[in-house]
Every structure is written in C-alpha cells, then in structure tokens.
Amino acid sequence: MRVLIPGISGGIARQLALHLHARGHQVAGIDTRPWAEAHAAGIQVYRGDVRKRAAEDVFRRWRPEAVVHMATVTAFTVPGKERGRINLDGTKAVFDHCAAHGVKQVLFVGRHTFYGAAPDSPLYHSEDEPPRALEAIPELADLVAADLYAATALWRLPKMTTAVLRLPYTLGAPGTGTLSSFLKGRRVPLVLGYDPLFHVLQEEDVVTALTLALEKQVRGIFNVAGPPPIPLSVIVRETGRTAVPLPAPLLSLLLGRAGLPRLSVGALDHLRFPIVVDNRRLLDATGFEYRHSVADTLRIYRESAPILPAGA
C-alpha cells in the first residue's frame, strides 16, 4: 500500500513510517520540518506545508492509496492564530487533496481531549458524545474543529474509507507530545484537592493501533486506549518527578514560572477532572492489544528522560 503521512517528522509519525515501511508498505510524507534519516530508511519526505500548492503536487505525482493525517499541533508547540490555521485549514486541505486525487483511505489522528474536562462529564466517554467545556479551554477549539471536520468526510465522501482515531496521552523514549512536555521539569503542578485519572499509552502501542486501523481499513470514529487509567500523582511519582499541589488561584499565577510548566489557565481543568474513554469500538474493529503496561511505560520514560541532580 502507498501511504502518505502529512506531519511525518513528528516523533510518533516517524515511528509509524518506519513500522509501515518494515511491513512492506511504500511510505512518504509531507512536513515543514526536516527528517534527515528518512531517505536512508527508504522513506521520501517532501518539505512543505500541506496548505500550499506544492503539497497538492505531491498527492498528484505520488498517488497515495492511503493517508494518515498527523499534521496537527497543540498549544505547547504553536501558540495563537497560526495553530488554528494549521489544524483546521490544514485538515481541510488534506481532505480536499484526498478527494481530488483518488485516495481510498484516510486516518485522521486526533486526541481524546476532544471530549473536554468538566465536572459533570461521564466517567467514560463514548465516540458518540459531543465535546464539552470548550469555553473554558479555547486552545482546544481548533483541534476539536479539525476532528469534527474530519468526521464529516464519513458522509461527504462516502467512497473514501475515513477513520478518526482519538489518542490518549502518550509517553515513549524520549517521549513527545503534551504529557511529555508537562512532565519535562523537576516539579510538576497538581491542583490541590484533585487527582484526576489519566490514560497513558506507550508510543509503540500507538503505532500498533494506527497500523491495525490502516491495514484493517476501519471506518468511523474510534477512541484509542491501553491500560486502565491511573491517578496523575502516580504518573508524576513514577517518572521521578516531584508533585507540587497548589490551590488553583495560586497555580494560575505561577504557570510558566518557578520551574513549573507553561499551561493556559483553562487547562487547569485537565488537572482537576478526568478524561477517560471507552475503547470497545476499536477493540471490536481491530483486535488491538497493548503490549506495555503502565509500569513499563512510566519506567521507559523515566529512564530516557531522567531528572538531573540539582547543580548538575
């Protein structure tokens, strides 16, 4: 299968590309960021923005059979209006190119934070639920909009097999993504009086789930999850960090200061309320089984991203 990956230079996208190539697929990607080792691995990377004409030329010339859209970004990596343009305009461009150039299958890689963190949310979110609490966390709005737009392809483009996969927080070696960035420092803030459950999935298991969805040609919206969720305080402790529980008003003033990670004030709700997903639909469609336990995942991250002694 000829598989094109927009956003191929990201950490998990690289792992997916190498895995698919090893399984006999032809793999190429589009990204504004370089990946110097790709050519030696037999993978072609076209430098460019998926919103530009050059990206459509890649679709026209390379003629992919399947596309795995991973060219979305979070508030940790790109702030402000540009993030919205990348996420929503970029997703629209990818689907437009797929429709225009005969792509048979598209995977949109979304995030479980689509559902939002709210005090009145159900404990387990199913794929049929709408997003919640976006007014509290505007930084999620463009990602939610991109997810919803991708889902419209299920009825707009019925000849194309479309799947939306909502991934949980991931950790790997050395780890990429939102949770890894949050755990980067020595001290990790918690909201005093709260200890929400977090899903954690090892990056190699994410690659397995995406590969199964691609090769089994699933259609629809799917939550992705692995081991049962665990309290945030356990994640902090088992990755070798120190939890710093603070009252919410004080924490909102200290974000990005005193060695604490940068977060939006709205994101504090994610430190209060859990986002736990029901992944039975994915299990039924693909038979996905995770290989790494929570303990393994946290150990791998702790060993690959240790906290240096003070003064080192």
Closest Cα partner for 175 from 301, 74, 70, 297? 301
Residue carrying structure tokens 């970029």: 90
Q: Within a domain: residue 266?
A: no
Instruction: Render 141-189 in DSSP notation, one character per residue.
Output: HHHHHHHHHHHHHHHHSTTSEEEEEEE-EEE-SS--SHHHHHT-SSEEE
Could you report the per-residue pLDDT of 125-158, keeping only the tens digit for each? 999 998 886 666 767 788 899 999 999 999 999 9
Asked if the model's pLDDT at residue 97 lies above 50, the reply is: yes
CA 239-241-245 angle, 5° bins: 125
- How far is it, in rounded angstroms, from Cα 312 to Cα 309? 6
Could you report the per-residue pLDDT of 184-194, keeping only the tens digit for each? 888 899 999 99
pLDDT of 140 reads 78
Q: Within a domain: residue 12?
A: yes
Q: Within a domain: residue 268?
A: no
Q: Within a domain: residue 151?
A: yes
- How far is it, in rounded angstroms, from Cα 175 to Cα 101? 35
Q: Within a domain: residue 250?
A: no
Ramachandran angles phi, psi of 231, nearest 5°: -65, 145
Could you report the per-residue pLDDT of 205-220, keeping only the tens digit for each? 999 999 999 999 999 9
pLDDT of 119 reads 85
Q: Mutual orientation of helices 53-62 and 90-100 as an angle, nearest 10°?
A: 30
- Which of 7-11, 103-107, 167-171, 247-251 is most confident? 103-107
pLDDT of 295 reads 94
H or E segment to which residue 191 belongs:
strand 187-191
C-alpha distances (whole Å) from 68 to each of 164, 241, 268 are 10, 34, 31
Give the CATH number, domain containing residue 83.
3.40.50.720
Task: Give the up-direction half-sphere exposure of residue 143: CA atoms within 13 A in the CB hemisphere.
Answer: 27
pLDDT of 304 reads 87
What range defines the domain where residue 120 resides?
Answer: 2-171+201-227+276-291
Amino acid at 54: A
Task: Give the up-direction half-sphere exposure of residue 240: CA atoms within 13 A in the CB hemisphere.
Answer: 17
Q: Are 113 and 143 spatial neighbours (Cβ–Cβ below 8 Å)?
A: yes
Q: Within a domain: residue 145?
A: yes
Could you report the per-residue pLDDT of 30-45, keeping only the tens digit for each? 999 999 999 999 999 9
Q: Within a domain: residue 244?
A: no
Asked if the model's pLDDT at residue 79 lies above 70, the reply is: no
Q: Where are the alpha helices (DSSP H) in the chain?
A: 11-22, 53-62, 80-84, 90-100, 141-156, 178-182, 203-215, 232-238, 248-254, 280-286, 294-304
Q: How many domains does the chain have?
A: 1
Closest Cα partner for 200 from 99, 75, 292? 292
Burial track 12-42 (b if 16+ CB lie within 10 A, e otherwise): bbbbbbbbbbeeebbbbbbbeeebeebeeee
pLDDT of 116 reads 87
pTM of the model as a whole: 0.93
DSSP one-letter code for 304: H
Ramachandran angles phi, psi of 21, nearest 5°: -60, -40
Task: Give the up-direction half-sphere exposure of residue 291: CA atoms within 13 A in the CB hemisphere.
Answer: 7
Ramachandran angles phi, psi of 130, nearest 5°: -80, 165
